[in-house]
Structure 1
Amino acid sequence: MKNQNLIPSLPDDVAVNCLARVPRSQHTTLSLVSKPIRSLISSPLFFTARSLIHSTQHILYLSLRTRATTLQWFTLHNNHRLIPLPPLPSPAIGSCYAVIGHTIYIIGGSINDIPSRHVWILDCRFHRWLPGPSMRVSREFAASGVIDGKIYVIGGCVPDNWTRSANWAEVFDPVIGRWESVPSPPEIREKWMHASAVMDGKVYAMADRGGVSLEPRSGTWESVGTELDLGWRGRACVVNGILYCYDYLGKIKGFDVKKGLWKELKGLDKGLPRFLCGATMADVGGKLVVVWECQGNLNRKGKEMEIWCAEIAVNKNNKDGELWGEVCWVKNVLSVPKGSSIVHCSSVAL
């Protein structure tokens, strides 16, 4: 019996090209059309085809700590609700994160108060957890960033012996599948990181006593400017070359690394609440997405906490350099037990 074509009267390669252009919001319905199409949608070939024709869409992934040692991962569905994912096999506290292609890397962190070398990889195509190559040293609360398809991790370990000093910074190349040490000057190795981002080809690692930056192409380490060091508070992300963070005064600010200035993101007064508890940010397809915690209602099990999310279109006025934002939507995306907290959010193109 002849195999059934994906689309009758079309060669399968042409059919794949057509089906790969269907928006992700319609994939569930598309999978009901036939068994061959359902099989295609769940295959690596389909995701490769979407990437080659630039048909991918950016999806938000979020991790929450619901109890002291319980870490739960979610993805934001098309109906603006967070959908739970399979649990991370070995959750840690103080991991750092990196996204390459369709994968999220969860790097290090402490398990039972012991720093770990382990790396876990979330294959976002099929929501499968895979063990990754371990780092050379254990670390927690490290800085991380991706440049030229390689993951750089900085700090998060005490340089009290030769191994930890030599590997205070490491780089992972997924093509060769192993970690290598990155030379670092001894005078910066006592710093402890609290945030990181990639801007203008550099990994910025913000520390408790002055941040540093690494330019991997030249191997150059530099101290960050005072303006960036003093203004960067809390979690941040980069959208279209501008670093955005949420300050303690209830404002979202943007930093232009080329001009070295912070500016308030204007236009949000009527679209967002005055204060955003636990605000965490991600660049989702060129939009600034902000996730925060909000007090919920009483239920049969006690008090709830709500997770809220907003998508903001951001742009810079070319005339005066002012930053403006327009709230596209604001939604309550999840209710969780009181005491939960947002850990991290990332954007993945699928």
Structure 2
Amino acid sequence: MDIILIITLLVVAFALLFDFINGFHDTANAIATSVSTRALPPRVAVLMAAFMNFIGAITFVGVAKAIASDIVDPFALSTPEAPLIGSVVILAALLSAITWNLATWYFGIPSSSSHTLIGSIAGAAIAAAGFDILNYTGFIKILEALLLSPFIALAAGFLMMSLFKIIFKNTNLYKTNKGFRTMQIFTAAIQSFTHGTNDAQKAMGIITMALIAGGLQHTDDVQGWVRLACAVAMGLGTSIGGYKIIKTVGGKIMKIRPVNGAAADLASATVIFGATLIHLPVSTTHVISSAIMGVGSAQRVKGVKWGTARKIVLTWIITMPISALMAAIIYTILNLFF
């Protein structure tokens, strides 16, 4: 029991570290457009995002419950004969996800924290108990959300920008840009709030999994201290900022003007918050980048830097299988010691 408690405490610590890294890794996505158009200075944008992420994180728990029980059944991970398996699986998944997040942050690649965490949980669980351990109904539902949300965001960005073009076609360009630059302060805040409602939930879900696997909790309810701790970790991580990723998302996909930034923010925030309301985790990275591509396509298809977009999409594709493999290897190594 002492070993289970120690591993559970390690899981909690690494989950909060994952949330902290997620904060500075994915914050860039939420504020990239407002920083690149100079609607907000980077420091102000980051602090605002930190506050709004915190508010969003403590408001909802539906996505956390999906992470805790829809990928694998946490009650089935450990057995009386092997009580440590569940805790070690979750620890391996977190170590894998943190490693991938740090690697992609270092190279300035807007990778998905959602993909790496979900892939890592699946990979470590399969290494421990085979493919039958997966909750295929819930897992496929999550995969569908992850796969479809970028296409929905692309369409939403295209439609939002097309609508703006119709509404403001006879407006003075200077006045329009000035107005949208002000509007971006609010759209960036909304974007950061929705990021907190979805992304911070993932660490809450994995801590809840660990508490169940360790026999310290017998329902999938997210405890109050878990919500608060994850919200604080996400907020602190956000306050650090991720300027390398801001540069990629804010300028290397397309040249963003205030009207483009506002359209992309509104489109992606709508998609993310919609997913939160139906308790599905989505990648804020994928959604925001796709919304920017949709906005750029509505303005001028050739204006989108599709070479950069291809590199981002390639990273999206490889993240989940690489994370699953890494988690399986880490689990195998940890299993030698536990």
Tell me which of the two structures has the higher relative contact order, counting C-alpha pairs closer than 8 angstroms and 6 or more residues apart: 2
Per residue, is there more helix in 1 or in 2?
2
- State the TM-score, normalizing by the size of structure 1: 0.20
- State the TM-score, normalizing by the size of structure 2: 0.21
Query: Which structure would you say has the larger Rg?
Result: 1
Per residue, is there more strand in 1 or in 2?
1
